[in-house]
Structure 1
Amino acid sequence: MYKIGIDVGGTNTDAIILDEHRHLIHSVKSPTSLDIKTGIETALRNVLKEANIDKTKITHAMLGTTQCTNAIVERKKLARVGVIRLGYPATASVLPFTAWPKDMVEELSGNYALVHGGYEYDGQLLGALDDNEIKSLLEEWQGKVESIAVVGVFSSIKNDQELKVRDLIQEVYGEEFPVSCSSLIGSVGLIERENATILNAALCKVIETTTQGFIHALEEEGIANAEVYLCQNDGTLMSIEYAKQFPILTIACGPTNSIRGASYLAQIKNTMVLDVGGTTSDIGVLQDGFPRESSVAVEVGDIRTNFRMPDIISVGLGGGSIVRVNNGKITIGPDSVGYKISQEALVFGGSTLTTTDIAVRLGLADVGDKNLVEHIDEAFAKDVLIEISSLIEQAIDKMKTSSEDVQLVIVGGGSIIVPDTIRGVSNMIKAENGTVANAIGASIAQISGQYEQIYIYSKESREDSLKDAQEKAVKQAVLAGAVAETIELVEVEETPLAYHPENATRLRVKVVGKME
Structure 2
Amino acid sequence: MIIGLDVGGTHSDAVLFDSRGLVRDIKVPTNPDNLYETLLTAFDLLMEGQRPEDVKRLVLSTTLATNMVVQNTLPPVAMIVSGGPGIDPEHFRVGDHYYVVRGALDHGGREIEPLDEQQIKAVGEQIRAAGLPYVGVVTKFSVRNPEHELRLAELLAPYVERVFMGHPLSGVLSFPRRIATTFLNAAVYPVHRDFFTAVQESLAQKGIVVPIRILKPDGGNMNMATSLDYPAQTILSGPSASVMGAIAYARADESCLVLDIGGTTTDMAIILDGVPVLASGGIEIGPYKTLIRALQTRSIGIGGDSVVRVRDSQISIGPDRLGRAMAYGGPLPTPTDAFCVLGLADGGDRSRSVQGLTPLAAALQLSVEEIAELIFTTACREILTAARNMVSDINSRPVYTVHEMHEGIQIQPDRMLVLGGPASQFAERLTTLFPGEVMPVPHWQVANAIGCALARTTCEVTVYADTARQVVTAQGEGYHQNIPASFDLGNIREIALELVRKKALARGANPEFVQTEVVEEAQFNMVRGFYTVGKNIRVRAQVKPGLIHGYDPQTETLNRSDL
Judged with a 3 Å threshold, the aligned counterparts in structure 2 of structure 1 residues 395 and 488 are, in CA distance, closer, same or farther, namely: same
1:418 aligns with 2:426: yes
Q: 2:346 aligns with which of 345, 364, 367?
A: 367
* Partners of 1:55 and 1:338 in 2: CA distance: 36
1:441 aligns with 2:451: yes
* Partners of 2:210 and 2:279 in 1: CA distance: 33
String of CA shifts for 1:16-40, please: whole Å, max 9, x gaps.
Answer: 222245x222222222213151453
1:9 aligns with 2:8: yes
* Partners of 2:89 and 2:170 in 1: CA distance: 19
Query: Is the 2:109–2:142 Cα contact (8 Å) retained in structure 1?
Result: no
* Partners of 2:100 and 2:8 in 1: CA distance: 35
Between 1:424-433 and 1:365-374, the stretch displaced more is: 365-374
Letter in 1 for 2:8: G
Total equivalences in the alignment: 474
Q: 1:54 aligns with which of 51, 54, 75?
A: 51
Q: In the alignment, what sits opposite 1:498? A: none
- Partner of 1:182: helix, strand, or coil? coil
* Partners of 1:249 and 1:494 in 2: CA distance: 19
Post-superposition shift, 1:242?
A: 1.7
Post-superposition shift, 1:272?
A: 1.7
- Partner of 2:271: helix, strand, or coil? strand
* Partners of 2:306 and 2:182 in 1: CA distance: 35
Query: Is the 2:171–2:538 Cα contact (8 Å) retained in structure 1?
Result: no
Q: 1:272 aligns with which of 243, 257, 268?
A: 257
Post-superposition shift, 1:147?
A: 6.2
String of CA shifts for 1:443-486, please: whole Å, max 9, x gaps.
Answer: 2222445689999xxx99775575466468669x7699675956
Letter in 2 for 1:393: L
* Partners of 1:332 and 1:96 in 2: CA distance: 34
Judged with a 3 Å threshold, the aligned counterparts in structure 2 of structure 1 residues 140 and 423 are, in CA distance, closer, same or farther, namely: closer
Q: In the alignment, what sits opposite 2:516? A: 489
Post-superposition shift, 1:397?
A: 2.1
Equivalence map 1:91-106=2 (5 Å): 94-95=88-89, 98-102=92-96, 105=97
Post-superposition shift, 1:492?
A: 6.0
* Partners of 2:433 and 2:538 in 1: CA distance: 39
Judged with a 3 Å threshold, the aligned counterparts in structure 2 of structure 1 residues 307 and 396 are, in CA distance, closer, same or farther, namely: closer
Post-superposition shift, 1:165?
A: 5.6
Q: 5+ residue gaps in structure 2?
A: 359-366, 396-409, 466-485, 523-536, 550-561
Equivalence map 1:351-430=2 (5 Å): 354-356=334-336, 358-359=338-339, 365=344, 367-368=346-347, 385-400=376-391, 401=395, 402=410, 404-420=412-428, 421-430=431-440
Q: In the alignment, what sits opposite 1:257? A: 241
* Partners of 1:67 and 1:25 in 2: CA distance: 26
Q: 1:314 aligns with which of 276, 281, 299?
A: 299
Post-superposition shift, 1:432?
A: 1.5
* Partners of 2:109 and 2:509 in 1: CA distance: 37
* Partners of 1:469 and 1:153 in 2: CA distance: 26
* Partners of 2:166 and 2:93 in 1: CA distance: 21
Q: 2:24 aligns with which of 23, 26, 30?
A: 26
* Partners of 2:15 and 2:230 in 1: CA distance: 26
Query: Is the 1:119–1:155 Cα contact (8 Å) retained in structure 2?
Result: no
- Partner of 1:292: helix, strand, or coil? strand
* Partners of 2:505 and 2:450 in 1: CA distance: 24
* Partners of 1:440 and 1:194 in 2: CA distance: 34
Percent sequence identity over aligned pairs = 24
Equivalence map 1:62-461=2 (5 Å): 62-69=59-66, 73-76=72-75, 83=80, 85=82, 90=85, 94-95=88-89, 98-102=92-96, 105=97, 113-115=101-103, 118-120=105-107, 124-127=108-111, 149=136, 151-156=138-143, 158-159=144-145, 161=147, 169=154, 180-185=165-170, 187-201=172-186, 203-223=188-208, 225-264=209-248, 271-287=256-272, 291-295=276-280, 302-321=287-306, 331=315, 333-334=317-318, 340-341=324-325, 344-345=326-327, 354-356=334-336, 358-359=338-339, 365=344, 367-368=346-347, 385-400=376-391, 401=395, 402=410, 404-420=412-428, 421-449=431-459
Judged with a 3 Å threshold, the aligned counterparts in structure 2 of structure 1 residues 150 and 264 are, in CA distance, closer, same or farther, namely: same
Letter in 2 for 1:54: R
String of CA shifts for 1:264-322, please: whole Å, max 9, x gaps.
Answer: 36677962201111233221112476643334676667555333344223344333346
Normalising to structure 1: TM-score of the pair? 0.72
- Partner of 1:418: helix, strand, or coil? helix
Query: Is the 2:217–2:234 Cα contact (8 Å) retained in structure 1?
Result: yes
Letter in 2 for 1:41: L
Post-superposition shift, 1:506?
A: 12
* Partners of 2:538 and 2:420 in 1: CA distance: 37
Query: Is the 1:278–1:321 Cα contact (8 Å) retained in structure 2?
Result: yes
Judged with a 3 Å threshold, the aligned counterparts in structure 2 of structure 1 residues 24 and 43 are, in CA distance, closer, same or farther, namely: farther
Query: Is the 1:286–1:292 Cα contact (8 Å) retained in structure 2?
Result: yes
Post-superposition shift, 1:43?
A: 3.7
* Partners of 1:426 and 1:506 in 2: CA distance: 44
Post-superposition shift, 1:249?
A: 0.4
* Partners of 2:505 and 2:187 in 1: CA distance: 22
Q: In the alignment, what sits opposite 2:530? A: none
- Partner of 2:258: helix, strand, or coil? strand
* Partners of 2:322 and 2:60 in 1: CA distance: 21
Between 1:352-361 and 1:432-441, the stretch displaced more is: 352-361
- Partner of 2:25: helix, strand, or coil? strand
Q: In the alignment, what sits opposite 1:501? A: none
- Partner of 2:417: helix, strand, or coil? strand
Judged with a 3 Å threshold, the aligned counterparts in structure 2 of structure 1 residues 352 and 219 are, in CA distance, closer, same or farther, namely: same
Q: 5+ residue gaps in structure 1?
A: 496-504
Letter in 2 for 1:15: A
Query: Is the 2:500–2:516 Cα contact (8 Å) retained in structure 1?
Result: no
Letter in 1 for 2:258: V
Post-superposition shift, 1:222?
A: 2.2
Judged with a 3 Å threshold, the aligned counterparts in structure 2 of structure 1 residues 112 and 59 are, in CA distance, closer, same or farther, namely: farther
Letter in 2 for 1:488: Q
Post-superposition shift, 1:411?
A: 0.4
Judged with a 3 Å threshold, the aligned counterparts in structure 2 of structure 1 residues 260 and 468 are, in CA distance, closer, same or farther, namely: same
* Partners of 2:330 and 2:183 in 1: CA distance: 44
Letter in 1 for 2:422: G
CA-atom RMSD in angstroms: 5.1
Normalising to structure 2: TM-score of the pair? 0.66
Q: In the alignment, what sits opposite 2:559? A: none
Post-superposition shift, 1:253?
A: 1.4
Q: In the alignment, what sits opposite 2:39? A: 41
Query: Is the 1:405–1:425 Cα contact (8 Å) retained in structure 2?
Result: no
